[in-house]
Structure formats: C-alpha cells, structure tokens
Amino acid sequence: MSKSEKKKLGLIPKLLIAIALGTLAGLYLPEWFVRIAVTFSSIFGAFLNFVIPLMIIAFVTKGIADLGEGAGRLLAVTVLIAYTSTIVGGSLSYLMSSNIFPAFISQDQVAKIQASSEIEVNPFFEVPITPFFDVTSAIIFAFMMGISISWLRKHGKGEYSYGLIGEFNEIITKVLSTAIVPLLPFFIFGNFSKMAFTGSVFAVLSIFWKIFLCVIALHLLYISALFIINGLYTKKNPLVLIKNQIKGYLTAVGTQSSVATIPVNLECAKSNSVSKGIRDFVIPLGATVHMPGSMITITACTFTILTMYGMDHSYLLMLRYMAILGIAMVAAPGAPGGAVMSALPFLPVVGIPSEGELASLLITLYLTQDSFGTAANISGDTAISVGIDKIFNKHIVKNDDYKDGFNEEIINAEEI
C-alpha cells in the first residue's frame, strides 16, 4: 500500500465533515451560497432517483439469478422477515408513545411548529431527470427477470440473459463507485445547509426534543436488538456487526434515503461476511420493503398528533394503520420523506385527513428526523441480511460448506 493510499480520507470522516460544514454554512453564510449548495443537491438528487431503479434491477435481478435453487423461497422469507420487523418496530413505538408522550405534549405547540416550516430555500434551477421505471415497477421487473433467469439456468438455458444482466450489474457498480459515492458528501452538505438555514430542524427540536430523543433512542435500541439476535444466531460478535455498520448509518443520516445508501450498505454487509449473492439481493430489496425506522417515526408522530387533538389512538386502530403502511411504504420513493408521503393517503384510517393542517404537521414532524429513521431502516437491512444468509444456506439450499461466524477468506477473495 502506498503512502498516498494510507493518507486517503475515509468515507466516515468525509460524511462528518460534510454534516458539520453544511450546518455551519446554513447558519452563517448568505442565502445565495446556501442556494448554490441546494442546487447541487437538487441535481444530484434527481440523478440518484434516475439511478435508483436501475440499481435495484441490476442488483436484485442478478442476486436472484445467482441464487438459483431456492430463489423463490428466499424472496418469500426475506419479505416476511422485513414485514414482521416493520410491524414489530411500529408496535414498540406505540408502546413507548402511549406510556411516555402524554406527559409532555401540549396543544400550544402546534402553531409554533407550523411557523418553522414557512421559510423555503429553492435551488437556482433544476434539471428534470425522469427515471425509466419507478421503484415499485423496478422491484417487480427485477423479481420477474431474476426468477425467470434462475429457472432458465436450471434447465441449461439463459446464459445470454445471465451474461447481459451480469454486465449491466458491473456498469451500475462502476457508476456507483465513480459518480455516486464520491459525491455523497457534497449532497449531504447541501441537505444540512438547507435544514440549518431554514431553522426548521432546530425549531421543531426545541419544542419536541423529548419526543425525538425517545424516537431516536428506540431506533438505536431496535436496530441493536436486530444485530444482537442475528449475531447470536450466526455466532458473530454483535458489537463487530454494529461497528461495521457505522458508515452506512452516517451515510443514511446525511442522504435521508435508504436506496441512496445502498452502495455503502453493500460494503457494510460485505464487512459482516454476508455472502455476495445474499447481500446483492437482500440489501437493495430491504431498502424498499424493510422500514422499521420509518414505521417507528410515523407511529410516534401520528400518536403525537392524535393525542394533541384528543382523537382516538387505541392500539387496535394503530395496528390496522401500521399493517397498511407496512405494505404502502414499499412504494415509497427513494428520496427524503418518501415514507411519510406514501402514508398520506391512509391517514383517514386513524381519523386524520390526508390533506390539510394535520397532514402538514405530520409531514413537518416526520421530516425533521427523517435522517435517523432512514439510518435505522438501512441498518436493519444489514442486520437481517446476516441472519437470512444463514437461513438460505443452512435451511433452503442446505449448503454444507456454510460456516457460522466471520469468514475473512471469502471477503479477501472477493476483493481480489
């Protein structure tokens, strides 16, 4: 390794620097500078939204095709685990909210929160980049193609299709490594400069800091529990698993997008010795179907509003709401606030109109800490991928070569 490689700044320091500089820029620099940063973030965000469906098709299709035997069963197991985890997260959020929040919720805070969202910082210009597919269509297409290619290969066919998707996978991987990941710190800088300039984050946190501390604490406790459970199941040290996830967590905090964090999260899963086929399948899929962090936040925010306005917030009502959201959020766009936007049509289930003052309040509350919910989502993806790796190898395809624990030899071989 050369001296220049040794001195190269890692991704985590870059993300922390971007967060700090973005916050300072938003607080102390003029609006025109912040708008320049927001303009870049807007263009980069549009490019991300264009690449995201292609990324899902490339990784999920090849991941399923590589799995071969048991691909359909793995899909069912992964979706079931992801959905169950999402509902469990929401239920724990309700349990926390119902026992803690009523003690410090005041109706006088509603007007103050809404006032904090009036300031806007718009980009100087926007570049419309329309994706070929939306996220849901990409998932369905990837499932269809992956399972079909796997079936063809099982019958001695499909090598051309497999080669084509393999090369497409390499192309998207190259785009991620050369265009997406290196520019993430600048994207994060723009996001944080905007939030700091508008003051929305600080205004809401100054009023609801107790609620958000509870929500973020539950995020951390829940994803830690997922890592502990899956670590014990696979005989891997949970502390090492969590340590390897830090850069993925910080990336999600800055980008506010689960799918935008996929490239970094794939590296986290690799560091945790998740086999390539499983991580290429579970991580992109989990970014769209595994939403425990978002569910914890939406449940807590919805409970807060229902309590402030004296509306029904029984567990059975909230459970019906969560069960619907667990499915609806699959169609959430891979952008900041995607989950809460997908939830809006279903607010009438708990008695909140899908448009108007209360819906706007919910959006404001959610977006203020969307970064942390997203970070919990993607960290949970890595955690369940560790356990799913063992389930697939030991119980679906019955791979006798699979071994519990970390396998540095496999990681080193993949790097070569």
DSSP string, 92-105: HHHHHHHHHGGGS-
CB-count burial class (<10 Å; 0-12, 13-18, 19+) for 143: middle
Match 């919805």 to its residue by tokens.
302
- DSSP string for residues in 294-352: HHHHHHHHHHHHHHHTT----HHHHHHHHHHHHHHGGG--SSTTHHHHHHGGGGGGGT-
Flag whether pLDDT at 412 surpasses 60. no
Output 37 or 344, whichever has higher pLDDT: 37
Q: What is the pLDDT of residue 7?
A: 58
Q: Are 82 and 163 in contact (CB under 8 A)?
A: no
pLDDT digits (tens, 9 = 90+) for 27-79: 899 989 999 998 998 888 888 778 878 877 887 787 777 665 566 788 888 88
Q: Where are the alpha helices (DSSP H) in 176-291?
A: 184-198, 200-234, 238-244, 246-255, 262-271, 276-289
The rounded distance, in Å, linking the Cα atoms of 128 and 42 is: 10
pLDDT at 200: 58
Q: How far from chain centre, in Å, is Cα 310?
A: 32
Angle at 397 between CA 394 and CA 400, to 5 degrees: 55
Does the structure show a pLDDT above 80 at 171? Answer: yes
Which range (5-9, 94-98, 275-279) has the least confidence?
5-9
Q: Which residue has the higher pLDDT, 243 or 356?
A: 243
The pLDDT of residue 91 is 95
Alpha-carbon separation of residue 71 from 33, 131, 262, 389 (angstroms): 50, 27, 21, 12
Q: What is the per-residue pLDDT for 272?
A: 92
* Range of weakest confidence among 107-121, 148-162, 235-249: 107-121
| pLDDT interval class at 277 (50, 70, 90) | confident
Mean pLDDT of all residues belonging to the chain: 80
| Residue with the larger pLDDT of the pair 255 and 409 | 255
Residues 182-189 have a mean pLDDT of 82
Q: What is the pLDDT of residues 321-340, one digit of tens each?
A: 999 888 767 655 455 566 77
AA letter at 175:
V
State the alpha helices, DSSP H only, in 101-199. 109-115, 135-154, 159-175, 184-198
Q: What are the phi and psi torsion angles at 352 (to 5°)?
A: -100, 125
CB 276 within 8 A of CB 307: no
Token pair recorded at residue 241? 């698993």
pLDDT of 2 reads: 47
214 contacts 300 by C-beta, under 8 angstroms: yes
Q: Which percentage of the chain shows pLDDT scores above 90?
A: 23
For residue 388, the model assigns a pLDDT of: 93
Which span out of 196-200, 345-349, 392-396 was modeled with the highest average pLDDT? Answer: 392-396
- 246-256, pLDDT tens digit by residue? 999 988 887 77
Task: Give me the domains of the chain, ranges plus CATH numbers.
Answer: 11-399 (1.10.3860)
pLDDT at 153: 81
Q: What is the mean pLDDT of residues 8-35?
A: 82
Position 360 scores a pLDDT of: 65
Asked if the model's pLDDT at residue 178 lies above 70, the reply is yes
∠ CA 57-61-65 to the nearest 5 degrees? 170
**Distance (Å, whole) CA 321 – CA 308:** 18
Specify the pLDDT at position 118.
64
